[in-house]
Homo-oligomer: A and B are copies of this chain.
Amino acid sequence: MVDIATRVHDHNWKIDPIVRSLLDTDFYKILMAQTVFRRHRDVRVEFSLINRSAEVPLAKLIDEGELREQLDHIRSLSLSRGESTWLRGNTFYGKRWMFSPDFMGWFENLRLPPYHLERRGDQYELTFEGAWPEVMMWEVPALAVLMELRGRAVLRGMGKFELQVLYARAMAKVWEKIERLRRLDGLSIADFGTRRRHSYLWQDWCVQAMMEGLGERFTGTSNCLIALRREVEAIGTNAHELPMVYAALAGRDGDDRALQAAPYQVLEDWSRDYDGNLLIVLPDTFSSTTFFDRAPPWLTDWTGVRIDSGDPFEQAEAVIAWWRGHGLDPKEKRIIFSDGLDVDLIEQLHAAYADRVLLGFGWGTNLTNDFRGLAADERLAPFSLVCKAVSADGQPTVKISDNPLKAMGPPDEIERYRRAFEIGAQTPRAVLV
A407 to B142, CA, bound (A): 68
Number of copies of chain A assembled together: 2
Q: Does chain B have a CB within 8 A of A409? A: no
For window 149-177 of chain A, which residues contact chain B by CB distance below 8 Å? 159-162, 164-165, 167-169, 171-172, 175
For window 204-228 of chain A, which residues contact chain B by CB distance below 8 Å? 208-209, 212-213
Q: Across the A-B interface, give the 5 residue pairs with the lowest CB-CB distance, nearest first.
A: A168-B168, A168-B171, A165-B175, A3-B3, A161-B212
One digit per residue, 1 when the CB lies within 8 angstroms of any chain B CB and 0 when it does not, for chain A 6-35 equals 100100000000000000000000000000
State whether B175 touches A171 (Cβ < 8 A): no
Q: Does chain B have a CB within 8 A of A5? A: yes
State whether A172 touches B165 (Cβ < 8 A): yes
| Known contacts A164-B209, A168-B169, then 12 further A-B pairs from the complex at CB < 8 Å, ordered by chain A residue | A1-B9, A2-B3, A160-B212, A161-B209, A161-B212, A162-B213, A164-B171, A165-B171, A165-B209, A168-B168, A168-B171, A172-B172
Contacts of A159 in B (CB 8 A): 212-213
A1 to B169, CA, bound (A): 30
Q: Looking at chain A's contact residues, is the secondary structure mostly helix, strand, loop, or mixed?
A: helix
A2 to B167, CA, bound (A): 25
A209 to B213, CA, bound (A): 29
A167 to B1, CA, bound (A): 25
A213 to B164, CA, bound (A): 12
User: A308 CB to closest chain B CB, in angstroms?
Assistant: 29
User: A369 CB to closest chain B CB, in angstroms?
Assistant: 17
Contacts of A164 in B (CB 8 A): 171, 209
Contacts of A212 in B (CB 8 A): 159-162
User: A229 CB to closest chain B CB, in angstroms?
Assistant: 16
Contacts of A162 in B (CB 8 A): 175, 212-213
User: A56 CB to closest chain B CB, in angstroms?
Assistant: 26
